[in-house]
Amino acid sequence: MDPRHFIGLRDPDRALQPTYYFMVNCLLYSRMEVGMPSNEDVFDEDVNVYLANLLQSFMDPKYVEKNKRFLSKYDSEIFSRLARSTDARLKYTIYKTNADFLLISIGIFDNPRAIVTPSRPSKFDPSEEAYIGRGKTYYQFAYSYSQILHGKKSAISEVLEKLSVGFDKYIHILTYMRGEYLDLVRRLTTGEVYHLERIVDEEKKNHEIRQKQNDLLDAYSKWMKSPSPELEKDIKKKVAEVKEMDPSFNFPWPPRSPGNGS
């Protein structure tokens, strides 16, 4: 299914709806339920629209893959990279992309390394507070370069400024949304991971068996049309390979002929 659409299980009509509607509804309900309704301190309905679109974008693997080249693990990597550039658009893109990924990594995945740096945790990793401070800073820089590119009063500039100032608040809203509406709060236990791996391994094995059976049938079909010692040898080999993976498999070979009393 197109990640831009979903079917609500509670919808009696099971109608296909834009995923954006689902995201914005979850976001608005989350804001009310945590006591941070829209426009309470400052007009931020525009931030709701931005976040809903951002959440929808992360459902598409192509979006993550396309933006991965702008991500960096450390502040020093970003600053070093941008020190060599005079391109305001590149600087804007790098700061905004890293800020967006940090926001979603912390708020939705409860792990600032989940998307930005998919590697094993280390005792030298920054604290979550450090990541939050980094997110604020990145949005602030993105806001500054956005003013250069789009103008001081542009809609995107205003959104980026609000995200920088209220980064902690929006993290809190997304964290609540993760647990109450996206069902991502519970982590899999070691036992559940083990069983999932067993299921995946079993499915992989079944797929390999089916593939070998198809290869066997292809070879048998060729032998039926034009028998040869080479094909007979190949068929015997393929039968042995399938039986090794599935001892219950039965494919009598060589076939009995009427002269052999069958």
* Residues 203 and 174 occupy one common structural domain: no
The domain of 63 spans 5-180
- 170 within 8 A of 46, measured Cβ to Cβ: no
160 with 203, same domain: the answer is: no
Q: What is the pTM of this model?
A: 0.62
Domain boundary pick from 180, 206, 228:
180
Residues 204 and 153 occupy one common structural domain: no
Q: For the chain, what's the residue count? A: 262
Tell me the three-class secondary structure of the chain, residue by residue. Answer: CCCCEEECCCCCCCCEEEHHHHHHHHHHHHHHHCCCCCCCCCCCHHHHHHHHHHHHHCCCHHHHHHHHHHCCCCHHHHHHHHHCCCCHHHHHHHHHHHHHHHHHHHHCCCCCCCCCCCCCCCCCCCCHHHHHHHHHHHHHHHHHHHHHHHCCCCHHHHHHHHHHHCHHHHHHHHHHHHHHCCCCCCCCCHHHHHHHHHHHHHHHHHHHHHHHHHHHHHHHHHHHHCCCHHHHHHHHHHHHHHHHHCCCCCCCCCCCCHHHCC
- Kindly list the distances between the CA atom of residue 214 and the CA atoms of 83, 221, 224, 235, 236, in Å, as whole numbers in the listed order: 58, 10, 15, 12, 14
Residues pairing with 17 in the sheet: 6
Domain boundary among 146, 180, 214: 180
pLDDT number for residue 124: 42
Query: Per the domain annotation, does 33 fall within a domain?
Result: yes
Q: What is the pLDDT along the chain (262 residues), one digit of tens a residue?
A: 444 444 444 444 444 467 888 899 999 999 999 999 999 999 999 999 999 999 999 888 888 889 988 988 788 888 888 888 889 999 999 999 999 999 999 998 887 765 554 444 444 455 678 889 999 999 999 999 999 999 888 999 999 999 999 999 999 999 999 988 887 545 556 676 677 677 777 878 888 888 889 999 999 999 999 999 999 999 999 999 998 988 888 888 777 554 444 4
Query: Same domain for 123 and 214?
Result: no
Instruction: Dig out the tokens for 33 from the structure.
Output: 């339920």
Are residue 161 and residue 35 in the same domain, yes or no? yes
Judgement on whether residues 107 and 162 belong to the same structural domain of the protein: yes
16 belongs to a structural domain: yes
Residue 185 lies in a domain: no
Can you give the pLDDT at residue 150? 93
State residue 261's pLDDT score.
Answer: 43
Which residue shows structure tokens 């069902």? 183
10 domain residue, yes or no: yes
Same domain, 90 and 157: yes
Does residue 115 sit within a domain?
yes
Query: 232 and 256 share a domain?
Result: yes
